[in-house]
Structure 1
């Protein structure tokens, strides 16, 4: 019953249970009637909450191992193939070796040796059509207008939610 109660409460229904020894158990589930037109709005609302998924290959770059691992798990859970790099230098090397392998790059902004912006510039020299998402915890260095001018498709502030990341990825990949 604990597993049934939360969904039941969301739809404002109720359940009755009758159990008799040697005769079995009967469940009666009562759900409210949906008015015409209401069903479509509810389905659309539920669909909006579902994270979008994909099968594309993503190059993920972040010098913080914990964030890199967490984002990798999120992306794998969304169905993507993921190559991770813990430095912008490594990411550039991996990308140079197989630029056509990747459908999208997600990079941190603040990293040693080469910032996310510097990495972006080098990646776009190699492959001008590669969609890039940059994530940062510091808004004083960049803003959405500056990143667009640099060829970056999406600018996300950390912490980034799973749904926010999923939506940004699909936006970049679906509207090239």
Structure 2
């Protein structure tokens, strides 16, 4: 009888302890954290070789600087840097831009070894106006920026700007990394 009574007391204590734990657990889970009614969740950033965050907090002057620096290189004629090397060294474009440009040119020369594309992919034309370019407009919601010729305002080029790690960079220009509907109408 004593063994049965001891087992009953032990079972009763274990049930009470278990009930207390369940109550404490459910109470703790239902209470908001002190000083904060919403729980903050930290999601780790994906690891990439280059992290691009599309935020359109960008400086549209970079589009003008980029295209005018490109024109300066073109005007050096035989002394200018080849387009792929120039874009890699410019510091104003994303790795995505460089990759797309290099793929366009490489594929074009594989198809047409003598001519390549037959036009300049950054300008989306065979020539360009004298005097450089100036800013026409900038769309803050998309980062799409339009520049026009200083001496020929009919010549327009669209560029796509992004903010990458706090720096404004060109992610698309001419036919490089721009969809058909994003390109300037010539």
TM-score by length of 1: 0.26
Higher strand share: 1
